[in-house]
Amino acid sequence: MADSRQQAGHAPQVSRSRLAGLTVAAIGVVFGDIGTSPLYTMKEVFGSHGLFPSHDNVLGILSLAFWALIVIVAFKYVLFIMRADNRGEGGIMALTALAQRTVGSDSRTLWLLTVAGLFGAALFYGDGVITPAISVLSAVEGLEVATPAFKPFVVPLTCVVIVMLFAFQRKGTASVGALFGPVMIVWFLVLGLLGLNQVVRYPAVIAAINPWFALHFLVTYKLHGFLILGSVVLAVTGAEALYADMGHFGRRPIKLAWFGLVLPCIYLNYLGQGALLIGEPAAARNPFYLLAPDWFLYPMVGLSTMATIIASQAVISGAFSLTRQAMQLGYCPRLAFVHTSAREIGQVYVPGVNWALLIAVLALVIGFKSSSALASAYGIAVTLTMTIDTLLAFVVVRQLWGWSSWKGALFLICFLTVDLAFVLACSVKIFDGGWFPLAMGLLVFLLLTTWRRGRRLLYERTRTDTIPLELFIQSLFHSPPMRVPGTGIFMTANPEGVPRALLHNLLHNKVLHERVVLLTVVTEDVPFVPEIDRVWIEQMDFGFVRISVHYGFKDDPDVPLALEQASACGFAFDMMETSFFLGREKLIPRLKGKMPPWREHLFIVMFRNAGSAADFLKIPANRVVEFGTQVEL
């Protein structure tokens, strides 16, 4: 078997037309969140902190926003972290798997990396709730700028848009995905043109790219200026998406889109809002929409709503994809999911996650009622995720890339200083709403770790009660049971022991199939496993065969298909002559178990409500036989 842990190496060359298509698609999917930040960033900076939009203040904020975009998005993610790909895939789960690979058998370091990665992944769900809420609400609030008469309808209209957005998820994005890129290109061009219109009138704002203005602002306002960073960080929310979606588009299209269109256009818009604020301080109530001429206000509300729907769609789809990866890696119970595209294997719909997110998003919109109030809840989850990315990336550059100590320390100090500054600035917002994404992240983290811990305890418990396979086969020679035609496949997590389902079948039915297969499904710490490395087969005595089927954490498990492909290795597979035997455990909590009683009961509830293993592995229901057994945790 080829080493599935090798790095992917250099990306293959693509044609110019293919590169252009990928770049357009990346603009539509990757940059939705960060591209809609101009809707609310400047409004929150000057509206929530009592900061007067004087010339120096505006240039200070614009300078902070510019260097946040450059340092965090351009340098950290686009130029550094996106190089840390796991066979071309990005995102915090892929980065965690990459970092884990560097520590070997150091169990404590491995545990710390796993916990950090899981917590970062859990925080993504908090971001997945706030992004649709604040984005769509900010877009619809443009109606208030047209006339205050629309104010009572903002929240109801936002709820209607959000319900429609989540209801559409079951149809998938394949049918409308082709529109995302062109719509977002129009969005970014409109942002740039509206900003340029004001910059031409007050070109002095261009000086904001000078970092001196940012430093002067922080020195002048001291603690107050530092806390304002909690609103400035809104300009870089969505930076994680650049890395997470790298596997779909590649590093080069994302890099071209960022530097060629997205960064210039969104910063031009920020400059335009700044120029407007200097000339009209009263515009601080909503500088984004007041950039637009009166005749263009309603079309701008419509375009903004479309852009925020696209941004929300990307986050929701990301939550589905992350859930599927967590299921593959054993951190989440099996949930029902549906493939929504015949071409793109990564496009899935998870009903349970979809409706849970919808309820949470509606609760946020109805509870906070305005984007300004929601902005207090936004930022803490994003900045913590960015900090975890930096720490995991540091492990990769030091251990996997072999960077020197001083070079690795420079990487860590530069980016961690910026990350922690934003985390501390956002931490004061915890009691004003920042607790919500943290609480949601902690809840998801608790569920993920409880499932992982419970499954490990269950595996250890069943392993200690298992008869060694070699000893069992030897015993069959002395007292052979009746053999029946066909193949019996017994699913097992422990290929060295005898599955309980096999023992139950022998005990109750008094027979063995002519061919007995012990099948183990293994999830590797890589996104995809090549088909040539998919199946391992080991022939044993007495008609026994040991098979392991290997998948990556982004592969789609399909055991019957894998067994058909194994025919090339001499394993003849006929579904109509095969029965799959699965064990169904009934868990009994222990009085003094290895988990607290409340956590044991939580795991048991999750275990009872987990989806069928047969469905998850695409085994036909009419070929499955289940044997029940009781297991004490």
Instruction: State pLDDT tens for residues 368-385.
Output: 888 888 887 788 888 999
* Mean per-residue pLDDT of the chain: 86
**What's the rounded Cα separation, in Å, for the pair 70 and 239?**
11
Q: Note the helical H segments in 480-620.
A: 500-509, 559-565, 597-608, 613-616
Q: Span 22-37, mean pLDDT?
A: 86
Does the CA dihedral 491-494-498-499 come out positive or negative? Answer: negative
Confirm whether 429 is domain-assigned.
yes
Confirm whether 460 is domain-assigned.
no
| Closest C-alpha to 209, from 313, 69, 97 | 69
Tokens of 601: 């009961």
* Residue 347 reports pLDDT greater than 70: no
Same domain, 568 and 443: no
Confirm whether 459 is domain-assigned.
no
Same domain, 220 and 354: yes
Confirm whether 579 is domain-assigned.
yes
| Residue 558 burial by Cβ neighbours in a 10 Å radius (0-12, 13-18, 19+) | middle
Q: Span 309-321, mean pLDDT?
A: 83
Domain that includes residue 535, residue range: 465-632
**What pLDDT band is residue 49 in, cutting at 50, 70 and 90?**
confident
Confirm whether 353 is domain-assigned.
yes
Q: Span 240-248, mean pLDDT?
A: 77
**What's the rounded Cα separation, in Å, for the pair 602 and 455?**
12
Where does a domain end: 421, 453, 485?
453
Where does a domain end: 453, 486, 516?
453
Same domain, 388 and 476: no
Same domain, 223 and 297: yes
**What pLDDT band is residue 280 in, cutting at 50, 70 and 90?**
very high
**What's the rounded Cα separation, in Å, for the pair 209 and 431?**
33
Choose from 116-130, 183-197, 537-551 the range with maximum mean pLDDT: 183-197
Q: Span 262-269, mean pLDDT?
A: 96
Same domain, 149 and 216: yes
Higher pLDDT, 545 or 94: 545
Phi, psi of 522 (to 5 degrees): -115, 130
Same domain, 408 and 552: no
Looking at residue 335, its pLDDT comes to: 84
Q: Span 386-415, mean pLDDT?
A: 88
Strand partners, 580: 489, 624
Same domain, 339 and 196: yes
Distances (CA, A) of 258 to 27, 305, 355: 8, 22, 33
Same domain, 593 and 613: yes
Where does a domain end: 404, 419, 453?
453
Looking at residue 210, its pLDDT comes to: 95
* Domain count across the chain: 2
Looking at residue 204, its pLDDT comes to: 93
Looking at residue 5, its pLDDT comes to: 32
**What's the rounded Cα separation, in Å, for the pair 444 and 13?**
40
Confirm whether 156 is domain-assigned.
yes
Same domain, 317 and 230: yes
**What pLDDT band is residue 361 in, cutting at 50, 70 and 90?**
very high
Q: Span 397-416, mean pLDDT?
A: 88
* Residue 9 reports pLDDT greater than 60: no
* Among the ranges given (19-28, 342-351, 533-542), the one the predictor scored with the smallest mean pLDDT: 342-351
**What's the rounded Cα separation, in Å, for the pair 7 and 340?**
30
Confirm whether 278 is domain-assigned.
yes
Tell me: the pLDDT tens digits for 603-629? 988 988 888 888 889 999 899 988 877
Domain harbouring 372, CATH code? 1.20.1740.10
Q: Span 405-419, mean pLDDT?
A: 90
User: CA 68: distance to chain centroid?
Assistant: 22
**What pLDDT band is residue 176 in, cutting at 50, 70 and 90?**
low
Choose from 43-52, 92-101, 244-253, 283-292 the range with maximum mean pLDDT: 283-292
Are 117 and 388 contacting, i.e. CB atoms less than 8 angstroms apart?
Answer: yes
Same domain, 513 and 368: no
* Residue 8 reports pLDDT greater than 70: no
Given the DSSP bridges, would you call strands 544-551 and 511-523 parallel, antiparallel or unpaired? Answer: parallel
Q: Span 298-308, mean pLDDT?
A: 92
Confirm whether 9 is domain-assigned.
no
Looking at residue 288, its pLDDT comes to: 94
Same domain, 493 and 439: no
Backbone Cα Rg of the chain: 27
| Closest C-alpha to 474, from 547, 544, 538, 571 | 544
Looking at residue 281, its pLDDT comes to: 92
**What's the rounded Cα separation, in Å, for the pair 373 and 351?**
29
Looking at residue 223, its pLDDT comes to: 92
Are 249 and 25 contacting, i.e. CB atoms less than 8 angstroms apart?
Answer: yes
Same domain, 97 and 246: yes
**What pLDDT band is residue 162 in, cutting at 50, 70 and 90?**
very high
